[in-house]
Amino acid sequence: MARVAAIDCGTNSIRLLVADVTAADDGSRWLRDVHREMRVVRLGAGVDATGVLNAEALARTRAALADYTAILRRKGTERVRMVATSATRDAANRDEFFDMTREVLGVEAEVITGDEEARLSFTGAVADLDPADGPFLVADVGGGSTELVLGSWDGVTGDVEAARSVDIGCVRLTERCLPDDPPTAAQVEQAVAVASDVLAEAFEAVPTAKANTWIGVAGTVTTLVALAKELPVYDSEQIHLARLSIDQVREVTARLLTMTHDERAALGPMHPGRVDVINGGALVVRTIAEHLAAQGITELVASEHDILDGIAFSLT
Kindly report, residue by residue over 263-303, the tens digit of the pLDDT: 999 999 999 989 999 999 999 999 999 999 999 999 999 99
Top-confidence residue, 142 or 215: 215
What percentage of residues in the chain have a pLDDT greater than 90? 67
Question: Ramachandran region of residue 106, left (φ > 0), alpha (ψ -120 to 50) or beta?
Answer: left
Residue 28 confidence (pLDDT): 66
Mean pLDDT, residues 74-92 taken together:
86
Coil, strand, or helix at residue 106? coil
Residue 208 confidence (pLDDT): 96
Alpha-carbon distance of 134 to 211, in angstroms, equals: 7
Query: Domains in the chain, start-ordered, CATH in brackets?
Result: 2-114 (3.30.420.40), 128-307 (3.30.420.150)
- Single out the residue of 167, 176, 279, 267 nearest to residue 220, CA to CA: 279
pTM of the predicted model as reported, rounded to 2 decimal places: 0.81
